């Protein structure tokens, strides 16, 4: 059965993360049968990480504040999580299903695919986003 996505509900969760007037820093999207639906959202990245279990496959849209001494800015990332216990067919299917998620989640600086909980370290993700962000004035001294 072909995977579908609840576009309206997923777009609403995505927009909550993008909105500077909310505290929402992440939204997760999971499989419910053959449909991708919002799995939750929140302000604490640790709550998102708790969803990334060995038997889960999901997508996360995350807001992380990056920058340097001269400026701070919100950067966004798309994380695809495939738990270690996910079978081969479901593992392969997530790659094609990601295109449906990207119809909703269109603006992000960097994309990651993880299956090891250690890879979800927020500081490492922040560093990768900082590298993708361009100019870095931290290296300059006064």
The count of structural domains within the chain is: 1
pLDDT of residue 71: 74
Q: What is the CATH number of the domain that holds 88?
A: 3.40.20.10
- Domain with 28 in it: 4-132
Which range (9-13, 35-39, 46-50, 136-140) has the least confidence? 136-140
Close Cβ partners of 67 (under 8 Å, ≥ 6 residues apart): 73, 130, 133
Look at residue 93 and tell me if it is in a domain: yes
- Cβ atoms of 103 and 7 within 8 Å: the answer is yes
Summarised one tens digit per residue, pLDDT across range 19-43 is 999 999 999 999 999 999 999 999 9
Look at residue 140 and tell me if it is in a domain: no
pLDDT of residue 117: 94
pLDDT of residue 72: 78
Question: How many Å apart are CA 120 and CA 59, to the nearest integer?
Answer: 13
Look at residue 141 and tell me if it is in a domain: no
Look at residue 28 and tell me if it is in a domain: yes
């Amino acid at each position: 059965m072909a995977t579908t996505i609840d576009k309206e509900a997923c777009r609403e969760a995505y927009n909550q993360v993008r909105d500077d007037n909310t505290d929402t820093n992440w939204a997760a999207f999971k499989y419910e049968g053959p449909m991708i639906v919002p799995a939750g959202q929140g302000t604490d990245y640790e709550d998102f990480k708790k969803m990334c279990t060995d038997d889960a496959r999901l997508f996360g849209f995350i807001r992380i504040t990056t920058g340097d001494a001269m400026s701070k800015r919100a950067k966004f990332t798309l994380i695809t999580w495939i738990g270690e216990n996910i079978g081969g067919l479901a593992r392969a299917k997530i790659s094609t299903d990601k295109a449906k998620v990207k119809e909703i989640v269109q603006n992000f600086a960097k994309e990651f695919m993880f299956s090891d909980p250690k890879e979800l370290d927020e500081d490492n993700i922040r560093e990768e986003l900082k590298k993708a962000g361009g100019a870095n004035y931290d290296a300059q001294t006064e």
